[in-house]
């Protein structure tokens, strides 16, 4: 299987790349400032997205994992935080970046017999679970959840399945050291979810453990 993972230089993305590669799949990873073995991609830069598509040429992608994301308003104060620049930067990566990546790589996905797109959202996107705070991150992850579900509708007739996932509260730079889930466990669970994704389940919002997540 041919796989492309955005934001694969650390955390969950790096672990997904590691596990897929060890399983014998042809997995490619991207990073804004790539290290050895990774492709350059700044999902917030349309020119960078277009350049990646050209670099891939006519390569088939069986699974596109939109993992790149930022959490810029962590710990922000309602009284004087959440500046307009943080809103713009966060949505550029977490929402627009996902759309631009999917749009640019559609021809590569259409070369596959069983194409799939996996989008990383979060439990913090849920409207039913709204404990407050982290307004920008929550709003961006809710937006990308909505984006994923609408893409699932529009891409169904092209044979492309789309799943949206909560990867868990993971002990990464973003999740923090007290998070209960390791990147290894999150990636292993997500891989099972991606394997199970099909046109019958397209549009799903699931946890890495395989449970439906409330919207």
Whether 6 is covered by a domain: the verdict is: yes
The crossing angle, in degrees rounded to 10, of helices 46-56 and 97-109 is 20
pLDDT for position 41: 98
pLDDT in the model for residue 35: 84
- 91 lies in some domain: yes
pLDDT digits (tens, 9 = 90+) for 176-198: 667 668 889 999 999 999 999 99
* Domain limits for position 159: 2-207
Calculate what percentage of the chain has a pLDDT beyond 90: 84
The kind and range of the H/E element at 114 are none
For helices 135-155 and 84-91, angle between their N-to-C axes, nearest 10 degrees: 30
Give tens-digit pLDDT for 41-54.
999 999 999 999 99
Q: Please report the pLDDT score of residue 8 as a whole number.
A: 96
Could you say which DSSP state residue 211 is in? P
Say what the pTM is: 0.95
**Structural domain includes residue 214:** no
| Weakest mean pLDDT among 13-17, 54-58, 121-125 | 121-125
Task: CATH number of the domain at 94, please.
Answer: 3.40.50.720
Which pLDDT score, from 0 to 100, does residue 173 have?
64
Q: Is 213 within the bounds of a domain? A: no
pLDDT digits (tens, 9 = 90+) for 71-88: 999 999 999 999 999 999
Number of domains in the chain: 1
């Amino acid at each position: 299987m041919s796989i492309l993972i955005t934001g694969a230089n650390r955390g969950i993305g790096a672990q997904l790349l590691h596990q897929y590669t060890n399983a014998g799949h042809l997995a490619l990873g991207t990073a804004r400032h790539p290290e050895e073995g990774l492709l350059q991609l700044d999902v917030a830069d349309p020119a960078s997205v277009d350049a990646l598509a050209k670099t891939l040429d006519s390569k088939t992608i069986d699974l596109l994992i939109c993992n790149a994301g930022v959490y810029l308003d962590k710990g922000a104060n309602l009284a004087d935080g959440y500046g307009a620049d943080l809103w713009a930067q966060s949505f550029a990566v977490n929402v627009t970046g996902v759309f631009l990546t999917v749009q640019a790589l559609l021809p590569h996905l259409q070369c596959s017999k069983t194409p799939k797109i996996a989008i990383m959202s979060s439990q913090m996107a849920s409207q039913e679970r709204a404990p407050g705070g982290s307004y920008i991150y929550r709003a961006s992850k809710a937006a990308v959840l909505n984006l994923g579900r609408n893409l699932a509708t529009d891409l169904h007739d092209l044979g492309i399945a789309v799943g949206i996932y909560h990867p868990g509260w993971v002990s990464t730079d973003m999740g923090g050291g007290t998070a209960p889930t390791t990147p290894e466990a999150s990636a292993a669970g997500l891989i099972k979810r991606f394997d199970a994704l099909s046109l019958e389940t397209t549009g799903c919002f699931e946890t890495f453990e395989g449970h439906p997540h409330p919207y």
